[in-house]
């Protein structure tokens, strides 16, 4: 169901976040993300620069390269547009991600590494969605590669363990729902007689 019709209004702020996952020819995985903020009105900066309405106030990009065990083997960040001229200086700091595994504790670790002036709020904000895209890209990509079939069906033990952690993480993955009944019958908690 779509949102109800909106009241007449003027645009003030827009944020777009885009994430993509890729299988590289060398067998590694690239996860790329971009965050772009625009204003619906002109902005004047502290140093006298002016930004016309609709042009990028923030535009940051991140590429993480991972192996199939979800370990980050390369990381780079870039600030293309920012309100402050010093913002691009922090991008190199995100190379600290190399060696970190995406999994339990990942969000805590990035908060520790890039807290306050040690990071860029916008670049750091991209890392959460990138972790989700990494999981979705690699887990389904491995199934597709191993089975030469679309990314459904049989899983490795590690994939089953990771996917099993999704149970009860949202409404769609509730333990008594049909997706769990079909994909994880051993973890299904609903009444089989009434769900059939």
**pLDDT for 74-95, tens place per residue?**
999 999 999 999 999 999 999 9
The answer to whether residue 72 sits within a structural domain is: yes
Q: State pLDDT tens for residues 4-53.
A: 999 999 999 999 999 999 999 999 999 999 999 999 999 999 999 999 99
With tokens 């004047």, the residue in question is 44
The answer to whether residue 2 sits within a structural domain is: no
Query: Cα dihedral angle (137, 143, 148, 154), rounded to 10 degrees?
Result: -150
The answer to whether residue 45 sits within a structural domain is: yes
The answer to whether residue 49 sits within a structural domain is: yes
With tokens 């979705």, the residue in question is 136
CB 121 within 8 A of CB 110: no
DSSP-derived secondary structure letter, 174? -
Q: State pLDDT tens for residues 53-68.
A: 999 999 999 999 999 9
Question: What's the structural domain count of the chain?
Answer: 1
The answer to whether residue 6 sits within a structural domain is: no
Q: State pLDDT tens for residues 103-160.
A: 999 999 999 999 999 999 999 999 999 999 999 999 888 887 776 654 455 566 666 6
Taking residue 14's Cβ as centre, other Cβ atoms within 10 Å add up to 12
With tokens 């009944």, the residue in question is 181
How many Cα atoms within 13 Å fall on the side-chain side of residue 48? 0
Give kind and range of the element (H or E) at residue 17. strand 13-23
Domain that holds residue 92: 13-145
The answer to whether residue 32 sits within a structural domain is: yes
pLDDT for the residue 150: 47
CB 68 within 8 A of CB 142: yes
Alpha-carbon distance of 118 to 115, in angstroms, equals: 6
CB 150 within 8 A of CB 50: no
With tokens 């040690």, the residue in question is 118
The answer to whether residue 114 sits within a structural domain is: yes
């Amino acid at each position: 169901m779509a949102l109800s019709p909106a009241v007449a209004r003027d645009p003030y702020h827009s944020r777009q976040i885009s994430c993509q996952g890729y299988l590289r020819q060398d067998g590694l995985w690239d996860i790329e993300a971009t965050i772009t903020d625009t204003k619906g009105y002109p902005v004047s900066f502290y140093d006298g620069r002016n930004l016309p309405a609709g042009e990028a106030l923030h535009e940051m990009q991140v590429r993480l390269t991972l192996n199939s065990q979800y370990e980050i083997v390369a990381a780079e960040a870039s600030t293309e547009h920012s309100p402050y001229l010093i913002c691009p200086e922090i991008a190199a700091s995100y190379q600290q991600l190399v060696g970190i595994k995406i999994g339990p504790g990942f969000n805590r670790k990035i908060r520790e590494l890039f807290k306050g002036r040690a990071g860029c709020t916008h670049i750091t904000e991209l890392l959460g969605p990138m972790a989700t895209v990494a999981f979705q890209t690699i887990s389904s990509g491995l199934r597709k590669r191993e089975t030469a079939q679309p990314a459904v069906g049989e899983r490795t033990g590690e994939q089953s363990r990771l996917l099993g952690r999704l149970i009860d993480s949202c409404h769609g993955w509730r333990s008594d729902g049909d997706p769990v009944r079909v994909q994880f019958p051993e973890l299904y908690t609903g009444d089989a007689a009434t769900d059939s």
